[in-house]
């Protein structure tokens, strides 16, 4: 579940395309420097995406949880779950649909504390 919350938050605060985020490798996120390297960008061009300071803490927390799970050995993907080495577009689309339906039914998803809106608001204040 943490992978989805982190992915949705990263998309909201950086403007990455979903395919770019899903293609990220573990080494593409330099959280010490606060930058992500997108290798599979539009037109096949790589680019650097700066991260807002407020995005670093949740990303570091996700990486820490992901690495502590021990299930990441051998997986180069940045976004993964305990069950899969890499998140797929179909899995993300299904999760987004479940969250949208829950919101329409009046049920807030457990990830209502998702930092995406907070990060976007902080970026707007700049």
Tokens encoding 63 = 């990486």
Domains of the chain: 2-125 (1.10.443.10)
7-26 pLDDT, tens digit each: 888 988 888 998 899 999 98
Looking up tokens 């096949």 gives 44
Name the pTM for this structure. 0.73
How far is 18 from 85, CA to CA, in rounded Å? Answer: 17
Q: Which residues are 48's β-sheet partners?
A: 37
47-97 pLDDT, tens digit each: 999 998 888 888 999 888 888 876 555 568 898 877 778 888 888 888 888
């Amino acid at each position: 579940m943490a992978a989805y919350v982190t992915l949705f938050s990263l998309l909201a605060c950086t403007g990455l395309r979903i395919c770019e985020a899903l293609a990220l490798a573990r080494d593409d996120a330099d959280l010490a420097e606060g930058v992500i390297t997108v290798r599979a960008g539009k037109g096949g061009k790589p680019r650097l995406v700066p991260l807002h300071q407020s995005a670093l803490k949740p990303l570091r927390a996700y990486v820490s949880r992901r690495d502590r799970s021990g299930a990441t050995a051998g997986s180069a993907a940045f976004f993964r779950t305990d069950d899969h080495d890499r998140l797929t577009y179909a899995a993300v689309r299904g999760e987004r649909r479940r969250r949208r339906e829950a919101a329409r039914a009046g049920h807030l998803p457990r990830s209502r504390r998702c930092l995406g809106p907070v990060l976007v608001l902080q970026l707007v204040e700049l």
